[in-house]
Structure 1
Amino acid sequence: MKKIVLIALVLIFTTACQKKVTAADIPKINGYWEIERVVFPDGTEKEYPVNQIFDYFSIQNNTGFRKKVTPQLDGSFLVNDDVEKITIKQENEKYIINYSTFFSKWKEEIHAISDEKLVMINDSKNEYHYKKATSINLIIQDGKTTK
């Protein structure tokens, strides 16, 4: 019995301390995001230590798009013509991103967001953990740094 009470208290504590996503948080999605890991419903995780592709979000007034971009060593990005249209709606005190392309439609819940972290959950209950992308800094042979 004590074990059940302890588990319940831990669950209550962790959910109570989590900040709810608000309308004021939505603009934080704008910019470049790099996937860190995916947490599956069974608790297993897949880590992404190095990424060749970032997600770029551009949202204004709860509409916009997401594109996949490839960072280059000079700080630029390679971009193709593929784009996912986005609308964000509040449903049952949660913010949902609705995506659409020529081929498909799907949605993800914005579970948590800050200036540096983003967590989204899809319909399969997979949690996608992102970090804000930073520039690539390399030291080249002459000792100078490039970003």
Structure 2
Amino acid sequence: MKKTFGILFISLLFVACKQKIQPADIAKINGYWEIEKVTFDKGEDKDYKMNESYDYFEIKASKGIRKKVMPQLDGTFLVNDTFENVAVRFADDKVFLEYETPYMKWSEELIALSAEELVLLNKEKKEYHYKRATPINILGDGKTTK
């Protein structure tokens, strides 16, 4: 019986400590994000050691874009004209990113957001864990990257 109450108390503590994302926090999404891992609904993780592409977000006033960009060895990013429109929606103490292309629409729940971490949950219950990406510069030419 004591274990049951202990587990219940700890569960409530975790629920109470969940980050509440405010509209002012949305600006933290802007920039380059590299996927670290995906957590599946059964609890297993798939880690990503190295990524060929990053996600780039640019959101202003709850609307913006997401693009896939490819980091280059000189610290720049290779981009194309393909992007997804993004709208931020707040509903029932939750935050959703609504994506739209000419071909489809979908949504992801914003679970966690900080200056260095981004966690998104899709409808298949997969959690995508991102870390803030930095440019790669392995050429050692002494030039700084932007």
TM-score, normalising length: structure 2: 0.91
Q: Deviations over 1:4-29 (max 9, x none)?
A: 32322222222222221111100100
Q: Which secondary structure state, in structure 1, belongs to the residue aligned with residue 25 of structure 2?
A: helix
Instruction: Say if 1:6 and 1:63 are closer, same or farther in 2 by CA, change over 3 A.
Output: same
Q: How far is 1:42 from its partner?
A: 1.0
Other-structure match for 1:99: 99
> Which residue does 1:84 correspond to in 2?
84
* 1:131 aligned residue: 131
Q: Aligned-pair RMSD on alpha carbons?
A: 1.5
Deviations 1:38-74 (A, max 9, x none): 1111111110111110000010110011000000111
User: Could you list the runs of 5+ residues in structure 2 that have no partner in the other structure?
Assistant: none
Q: CA deviation at 1:145?
A: 4.5
Distance 2:10 2:45 in 1: 21
The aligned residue for residue 117 of structure 2 is 117
Number of aligned residue pairs: give it.
Answer: 144
Per-residue deviation at 1:75? 1.3
Amino acid of the residue matched to residue 42 of structure 1? Answer: K
Q: Secondary structure at the match of 1:123?
A: coil
Match for 1:14: what amino acid?
Answer: F
Gaps of 5+ in 1: none
Find the residue that maps to 1:43 and give its secondary structure.
coil
Contact kept in structure 2, 1:137 and 1:145, CA below 8 Å: no
Structure 2 partner of 1:13:
13
Q: CA deviation at 1:33?
A: 0.3
**Counterpart in the other structure of 1:69:** 69
| CA spacing shift, 1:42–1:74, aligned 2, 3 Å | same
Q: Could you state the TM-score of these two structures normalised by the residue count of structure 1?
A: 0.90
Instruction: Specify the SS of the correspondent of 1:138.
Output: coil
